[in-house]
Amino acid sequence: MGINFQWCPKEHLSFDIGYREAGFVEYKSDEQFEPKAQEFAEIAKAKVLEIREQLSSPKSVKEYVIFSLQNHRPTLWGEFHQGMSCVMTKNRNEAISYFNQVLSNPHDTEWAIELKEFTSRMVKLLESGEDALRFIEEIVNKSRELKKLEPTDVQLAEFA
pLDDT tens profile 77-130: 999 999 999 998 899 999 999 999 999 999 999 999 999 999 999 999 999 988
Cβ pair 81, 5 in contact under 8 A: yes
Output the pTM of the full model.
0.82
The percentage of the chain sitting over the pLDDT mark of 90, rounded to a whole number, equals 50
Q: Can you tell me the distance from the alpha carbon of 93 to that of 111, in angstroms, rounded to the nearest whole number?
A: 25
Q: Where are the domains of the chain?
A: 2-17+52-159
1-12 as b/e, with b when 16 or more CB fall inside 10 Å?
bebebbbbbbee
pLDDT band at 156 (very low <50, low <70, confident <90, very high): low
Mean pLDDT for all residues in the chain: 88
| Greater model confidence, 36 or 21 | 36
The count of other CB atoms within 10 Å of the CB of residue 83 is 24
